[in-house]
Copies of this chain bind each other. A is one copy, B any other.
Amino acid sequence: MTLTDDFMEDRDRRERTGLDECILCAYKSVDQITRIVGQIFEEGRRALLTRLSADQYSKLPKETRAVISYDALSCTAIVGEPITLNRELLVAIVSGGTSDVSVVAEAAKTLEYYGYVASIFQDIGVAGLWRVVDAAPALQNFPIVIAVAGMDAALPTVLAGLIPSAVIAVPTSVGYGVTAGGTAALNSLLSSCVPGITVVNIDNGFGAASAAVRMLNAIRTS
């Protein structure tokens, strides 16, 4: 049996889809991550690593750590050079609580990897409705709003009723009892009484940002 950990890259994904092959590290061994990063670095390419825990990062060989830039809050790392950032007001990321900060950060870092700077609006939960209402005039200028929300996930619904932007909602897993795991938030979002909200998997800041990049590609080529 010659079972190996070699990594067969999906080489032309960028050309086909406008998105690179990103590496989900959560279920990979340190050895696997090391090998993948090494291969990408040697070929002079760029890549985004997600769900790279501080613990995994600390166990990577020195040489591997040297060729990636790690961000602990978002658990992401970038292989290769950063690209020039577009600072237009294209994407806002909105969240209701400080508990969701790592999901917000994962979305922001993914956008940064693709060259976009997101504007971040934190702590505007619906419990203090005036915070949402106050933010709405600023938010309606963004073509795309990523709304990160746990518990009852009412924020994306309230927000989408106030602005015309494309709203990509990310349910989060924060909470206990029926709230735990994020299914209540996910189903609440899929059931939203405001039309036109789209949803990604629980805690998937990376996926929401990737969807935003697809839309931004569409905007730029239209």
Interface residues of A (CB under 8 A from B): 1-8, 10-11, 13, 16-19, 21-22, 24, 26-28, 32, 36, 51, 73, 90, 96-99, 101, 104-105, 108-109, 112, 117-118, 120, 122-129, 131, 133, 143-144, 151-154, 157-158, 160-168, 171, 173-179, 182-204, 206-208, 210-211, 213-215, 217-219, 221-222
Cα A204 to Cα B28 in complex, Å, equals 19
B197 x A187 contact (CB < 8 A): no
Query: Which residues of the other chain, B, contact A186 by a CB distance below 8 angstroms?
Result: 177-178, 190
Given contacts A22-B195, A126-B161, A129-B129, 14 further A-B contacts (CB under 8 A): A1-B105, A1-B118, A3-B73, A10-B127, A16-B161, A16-B162, A16-B164, A96-B193, A165-B218, A171-B177, A188-B188, A190-B200, A197-B207, A215-B215
A177 x B168 contact (CB < 8 A): no
Q: Which of B8, B18, B124, B219 contacts A219 (CB 8 A)?
A: B219
